[in-house]
Amino acid sequence: MPDDILLSVQRPLALPSAFFPTTTPASYSRADFGPDFHWGAACAAYQVEGAWQQQGKGPSIWDEFTRRPKAIARGEHARVSTDFFTRYEQDLDLAQSLGLTDFRFSAAWARVLPEGVGAVNRRGLDFYDRLVDACLERDLRPWLTVYHWDLPLALQQRGGWTNRDVVGWLANYAQLLARRLGDRVQHWMVLNEPMVFVGAGHALGIHAPGRRSLPAFLAAAHHATLAQAEGGRALRDTLPGSARIGTTFSCSYVTPARPGHGPSEAATRRVDAVLNRFFTEPVLGMGYPMAELPALGWLLRRYQKPGDVERMKFDFDFWGIQNYTREVVRAAPWLPLLGAALVPAAKRGVPTTEMGWEVYPESVYEMLKQYAAYPGAPELYITESGAALPDYPAGGRVPDAGRVAYYQAAIGQVLRARREGIRVNGYFPWSFTDNFEWAEGYRPRFGLVYVDYDTQERIVKDSGRWYSEFLAGARVEVARTL
Ligand code: FCB
């Protein structure tokens, strides 16, 4: 094994309690999760499909954003990516051979509706039809995300998420997918991580459409909240009664930099409200978390219309919880609106992944506990969880011991939650194969399966092999050291 493989997993050895939390059950097997637990893996259209101009697909905001100089690390883009559009059968064969029971993917809105609304691109819709059939032929239950960040460019030209019409556009697109695929797809998710595409795309400018504007952020946030619920209603009106309709939330467990210190604790509550509660509480009819964020609440009023609190509600069958890390928060009274700042993991001397995210597997458990505590919370699934580590093929294998340890701990934390009675019924590693990691390009590798981007060769990583053995029933003795 080349020395540098261990680069990112050497530092954790200095802090074994964080990397190997003792709260993780020491040993477990698949049987401990019961026979109905869903074991999948996840991906998203823009990150894997490639074929950006093939068979009538229209341009998306990511096709445009990746063309901007300096927007993406090393000037990379996803015009080819892992070429899932032509290689999906091969990838699904691999997923089946590893023993997965479920497969999560998204549809590219501009592949189905090149202009976002109006004329349907039959060949685009046919692709998802074949993809769904290909999953079912391999006994993989398809989980379809309606919107995973790739808005049609034509809609962006009409204001995109800042235009309230997006609520209707999304509902119309969701309905189109439901009409065509609803006889075979049972699990649907309306949005992928609204806080990320709204925040990174409209406030920070680091994701498409690259806006850095508070009004754009507020408008997009409110319209995403409305679209989330309206999309749910559109699906429910169209799909058979047996369909399971969900949506997904990004989240990070937040802890104060100075526990017990009033301002630090209060700052942590404000960050929690933004990162973890903002899109969830309106769904339950609680409105936005205004008590913690009065200024934001006041500013948001401009975009709200009478009846919106009711419109933002929807009784989802499940929530997809997506967690990678925790955040440590300190008070920063000079910063407007939030008065809080995140203490970067690098400054805290904790183990991190290639994304700079702290390795903190207990975050998965903490977030499940937090979401399950809402009165009226539906069934939960971990629809994303994973780690980017530097992977190198060596002798036909990819030895990624750090990722194996990460999954052992994270899945163990899901079991911990289940043992406490939390209704969490599935786990989807992010990601099935390596893929295009948005602004970070191809360098961060999240896959259970390695992709050689020059040859499109796939190599199952040791983590993929481990997952497969676990799914075949092997008992896991959870790693305590590397
Ligand atoms: C999530 C995204 C997903 C992937 C992972 C690493 O925020 O939903 O597409 O990029 O992060």
The pick from 322, 323, 436, 448 for probing ligand 1's pocket by mutation, whose C-beta has the most ligand atoms within 8 angstroms, reads 322
CA of 305 to the centre of ligand 1 (A): 32
Q: Which letter does DSSP use for residue 69 in this model?
A: T
49, 193, 327, 354: the active-site residue: 193
Is 137 a catalytic site residue?
A: no
Condensed to tens digits (0 to 9), the pLDDT of residues 40-75 reads 999 999 999 999 999 999 999 999 999 999 999 999
Catalytic residue status for 89: no
Which residues lie across from 397 on neighbouring strands?
A: 394
Nearest-atom number in ligand 1 for the CA of 44 is 9
Cβ(244)–Cβ(178) below 8 Å: no
Q: In ligand 1, which atom is closest to the CA atom of 196?
A: 7
pLDDT value for 479: 78
Peptide bond before residue 468 is cis, with ω within 30 degrees of 0:
no
Residue nearest to atom 9 of ligand 1 (CA): 44
Q: At 255, which amino acid appears?
A: T
Ligand 1 site residues (CB inside 6 A) read: 44, 47, 192-193, 196, 250, 322, 384, 430, 437-438, 446
pLDDT tens digits for range 181-234? 999 999 999 999 999 999 999 999 999 999 999 999 999 999 999 999 999 999
Percent of the chain with pLDDT over 90: 93
pLDDT digits (tens, 9 = 90+) for 100-128: 999 999 999 999 999 999 999 999 999 99
Question: Considering only CA atoms, which of 14, 32, 3, 19 is closest in space to residue 405?
Answer: 19
Q: Which helix (H) or strand (E) holds 381?
A: strand 379-384
The alpha carbon of 382 and the centre of ligand 1 are apart by a number of angstroms equal to: 13
Mean pLDDT of 85-95: 98
| CA of 261 relative to ligand 1 center, distance in Å | 33
Q: Which of 358, 362, 384, 437 is catalytic?
A: 384
- Burial class, 301, CB count within 10 angstroms (exposed 0-12 / middle 13-18 / buried 19+): exposed
What is the reported pLDDT for 17?
Answer: 61
Q: Which residues contact 378 (CB under 8 A, 6 or more apart)?
A: 246, 315, 316, 317, 318, 319
Strand 424-427 relative to strand 379-384: parallel, antiparallel, unpaired? Answer: parallel
Residue 234, CA distances (Å) to 69, 188, 409, 417 in order? 38, 12, 38, 32
